[in-house]
């Protein structure tokens, strides 16, 4: 049995990870700051958890204390969402990057050499695309005039032709488009150099769009699945932006938890993995599946858009399958139906 510290273990994903680790007979401690962006009420200590350290990752003494007797760390604590803008910079960088730096320094000092990092597909920015004539291409930033005229698909930067979305693999370039995304890229870089300097093992799990029971309700920082779910609960039609054909990979939180468990086995060095269902779904299909299972109202496709959004992001789940033996067990069609009526957190 190993003793694992889960940072952010009281949150939506962290509590699912904690439950999966306990079910696999690990000893689990949790470090969680109960940040007001994620918790309206003080979190409860999950059943079976040995110790709950209610502290911020930037509190060096608390982190040192929490690492006592620990064999590995699963680092889920972070401010999530896109970041509303520049005023969010200090708190995002503080929680996500300074917090990670304090954790890594304390792990080095305590001789803890194994880390699973919750990263995100937002490190890629726009997904991958292919032009029939020019092969793999990277589209230019989205053009507000084109979007306003309903041209949502990015054109080929060389010939202007329509592109086909392709699978993003872990070697795709990083192109963060939000404050949050920039903090996730920085976390990965910090963890990679820490792994090299300490001869340690890091798995960085690039979560795609995670959903499932216990997801926080609609906030300015929520992902689209929680927003639609909250609208339905309030009797309002989900508002689908663009034309609803934008593709994402919705992955169930229990699969994300299983991926964390599998990632504890990686060898030394820094290993990034897409964590996805492998079954891309359009935002329109997702809205329709939730509305249908909830019993209405039907989604409205609005044609509105957010300039900061990317059009398509589809994951290749192959590296995680080959190296971690991880494949998602919950197909979006099943998971979304269940999520439509599952409880959210307040």
Instruction: Tell me which residues touch ligand UD1 (CB under 6 A).
Output: 80-82, 120-122, 180, 207-210, 221-224, 227, 239-242, 246, 248, 283, 306, 309-310
- Name the 3-class secondary structure at 11: coil
Question: Is there a catalytic annotation at residue 273?
Answer: no
Question: Cβ closer to ligand UD1: 210 or 288?
Answer: 210
Question: Cβ closer to ligand UD1: 10 or 310?
Answer: 310
User: Shortest Cβ distance from residue 67 to ligand UD1 (Å)?
Assistant: 27
Question: Cβ closer to ligand UD1: 90 or 308?
Answer: 308
Residue by residue, DSSP assigns 71-108 as SEEEE-----S--SSGGGHHHHIIIIIIHHHHHHHHHH
Question: Cβ closer to ligand UD1: 214 or 221?
Answer: 221
The token pair that represents 284 in the structure block: 């329109």
User: Shortest Cβ distance from residue 334 to ligand UD1 (Å)?
Assistant: 19
92, 124, 180, 211: the catalytic one is: 180
User: Shortest Cβ distance from residue 268 to ligand UD1 (Å)?
Assistant: 27
User: Shortest Cβ distance from residue 304 to ligand UD1 (Å)?
Assistant: 8
| Nearest-10 crossing angle of helices 99-110, 179-198 | 10
Q: Are strands 128-131 and 135-137 parallel, antiparallel or unpaired?
A: antiparallel
CA distances from 328 to 57, 71, 181, 335 (A): 30, 26, 24, 11
Residue by residue, DSSP assigns 30-66 as EEE---TTT-SSPPPPPTT-SEEEE--TT-HHHHHHH
Active site residues: 180
């Amino acid at each position: 049995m190993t003793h694992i510290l889960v940072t952010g273990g009281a949150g939506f994903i962290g509590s699912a990870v904690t439950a999966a680790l306990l079910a696999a007979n690990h000893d689990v401690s949790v470090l969680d700051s109960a940040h007001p962006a994620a918790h309206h009420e003080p979190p409860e200590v999950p059943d079976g958890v040995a110790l709950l350290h209610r502290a911020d990752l930037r509190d060096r003494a608390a982190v040192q204390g929490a690492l006592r007797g620990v064999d590995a760390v699963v680092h889920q604590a972070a401010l999530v969402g896109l970041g509303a803008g520049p005023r969010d910079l200090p708190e995002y960088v503080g929680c996500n990057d300074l917090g990670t730096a304090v954790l890594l320094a304390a792990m080095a000092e305590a001789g803890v050499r194994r880390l699973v990092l919750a990263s995100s597909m937002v490190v890629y920015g726009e997904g991958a695309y292919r032009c029939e004539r020019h092969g793999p291409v990277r589209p230019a930033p989205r053009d507000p005039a084109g979007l306003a005229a309903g041209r949502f698909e990015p054109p080929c930067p060389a010939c202007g032709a329509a592109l086909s979305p392709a699978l993003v693999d872990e070697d795709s370039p990083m192109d963060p488009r939000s404050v949050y995304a920039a903090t996730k890229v920085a976390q990965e870089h910090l963890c990679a150099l820490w792994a090299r300097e300490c001869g340690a093992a890091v798995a960085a799990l690039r979560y795609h769009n995670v959903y499932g029971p216990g997801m926080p309700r609609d906030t300015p920082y929520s992902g689209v699945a929680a927003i639609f779910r909250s609208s339905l609960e309030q009797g309002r039609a989900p508002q689908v932006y663009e034309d609803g054909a934008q593709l994402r990979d919705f992955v169930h939180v229990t699969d994300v938890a299983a991926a964390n468990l599998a990632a504890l086995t990686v060898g030394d060095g820094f290993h990034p993995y897409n964590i996805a269902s492998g079954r891309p779904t359009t935002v329109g299909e997702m809205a329709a599946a939730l509305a249908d299972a909830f019993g209405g109202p039907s989604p409205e496709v609005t044609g509105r858009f957010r300039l900061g959004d990317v059009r398509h992001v589809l994951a290749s789940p192959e590296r995680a399958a080959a190296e971690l033996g991880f494949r998602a067990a919950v197909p979006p069609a099943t998971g979304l139906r269940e999520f439509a009526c599952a409880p959210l957190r307040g």
